[in-house]
Structure 1
Amino acid sequence: MKGLLVTGFAAIGAGSGAMLTLHAGSNLDPLHSVISEYVWQSAGWLLPASLTLFAVGSALIAEALRRSGASGWIVALLLLWGASMFLVGAFPTDRPGVPLSLSGGIHRYAAFAAFLVMPAAGMLLARAKIPYAKALRILSALALGALLLVVVPYVVRMFGIPLSNDDIPAGLTQRVVVVTELGVLALAGLSLLRPRARREVAPALA
């Protein structure tokens, strides 16, 4: 199990490094520009690479949780998060001003699914009162709150009210979701590195 977790953390770390490198080499404003727009930068290939590494890390941690006896719901949610992250990277968003394409639609709804399922997994893990349960609960709540702020502009536009990302900190709220959800994933893995957690996960969540 420790090998799975270490490899999972390495994948998450490498994905985070690729994401930071992409941001450092871009001239976009992270306060207003959403992460998806970075795929059109010169080093845009780092975006799908980063998201794929996150997906791999999630799958490895999910397998470690499965072996520890965690609920199938938690394992399934982490796997769904990873699959959604992979789809977000595999199907790039549309360029600004272009009508929604099939690729753009898959990208959008896969991102929403990912943003929604990780807080659910975090809350289920927190119920087990394993190490970091309080931090898991806080990060999951923050992710859900930030997700609400991400969704509101789309709802506003559905009512015909013009609202661009330049009018709101769309980039900031999206990054809060991503960072907090990566935090949930990392804590889920870290909790299994402690012997007491491995004993408690199964009876608490099975």
Structure 2
Amino acid sequence: MRGLLATGFTAIGTGSAAMLTLHAGSDLDPLHSVISEYAFQSSGWLLPASLTLLAAGSALIAEALRRSGTDRWVVVLLLVWGASMFLVGAFPTDRPGVPLSLSGGIHRYAAFVAFLVMPVAGMLLARANVRFARAVRVLSGVALGALLLVVVPYVVRMFGIPLADQDIPAGLTQRAVVITELGVLALAGLSMLKPSARTSDRGVTPIMA
């Protein structure tokens, strides 16, 4: 169990570091530029690498949850999130102004699935009254709210109203979803770690669990 969690957190940490490195080496505006656009930068290969590592980390934490007896739907949703993130990285989006291709379509809908399932997994996990349940519930709620802001521009465009990412903080809302969902994933893993110490009736020296 601890080995799965340690490897999972290592994958998530490395994937997050790769994503930060990609952002640091780019001149794109993170307030308006969505993460997918970073694939066209000189270090664009870091994007699929990062997403693959995040997907692997999610799968490892899901397996640890399964072994701990967690609600199977939570496990399934984490696996779906990981698979979706892998597809997002494997199928790059289209360049701005280009009609939607098969790769771009898979990328878009896989991202939507990923963004949707993690908050649901978090809510289910919080209902089980696990450790950090309140924080998981809050992050899941924020992720759903941010996801709504991500979806609204697409709905507006469906009605023929031109709305470019530069007109709205599209990058900010998308990053809010990603960051909060990574927080949910991290807390899901941390919730399985027993308290490192127990306090005796006298409230004196703690011992390892």
Separation in 2, partners of 1:3, 1:189: 12
With normalisation by structure 1, the TM-score equals 0.94
Who is 1:9 aligned against?
9
Separation in 1, partners of 2:133, 2:11: 23
Amino acid at match of 2:83: A
The number of aligned residues is 196
Structure 1 stretches of 4+ with a deviation exceeding 2 A read: none
Q: Percent identity?
A: 82
Amino acid at match of 1:57: G
Who is 2:106 aligned against?
106
Amino acid at match of 2:144: L
Q: Does 1:19 align with 2:12?
A: no
Post-superposition shift, 1:173?
0.1
Separation in 1, partners of 2:76, 2:130: 19
Bigger relative contact order, structure 1 or 2 (CA pairs below 8 A, ≥6 apart): 1
* Larger-Rg structure: 2
Query: Gaps (5+ residues) in structure 2?
Result: 197-209
Who is 2:190 aligned against?
190
Amino acid at match of 1:145: G
Once the two structures are superposed, residues 60-85 of structure 1 have per-residue CA deviations (whole angstroms, 9 ceiling, x without a partner) of 00000000001111100000000000
With normalisation by structure 2, the TM-score equals 0.93
Amino acid at match of 1:140: S
When the two chains are superposed, the root-mean-square deviation of aligned CA atoms in Å is 0.9
Separation in 2, partners of 1:130, 1:177: 22
Who is 1:133 aligned against?
133
Post-superposition shift, 1:132?
0.3
Q: Does 1:40 align with 2:40?
A: yes
Query: Gaps (5+ residues) in structure 1?
Result: 197-206
Separation in 2, partners of 1:183, 1:72: 20
Who is 1:90 aligned against?
90
Post-superposition shift, 1:195?
5.7
Who is 2:143 aligned against?
143
The structure in which a higher percent of residues are helix is 1
Once the two structures are superposed, residues 153-187 of structure 1 have per-residue CA deviations (whole angstroms, 9 ceiling, x without a partner) of 00000000010000000000000000000000000
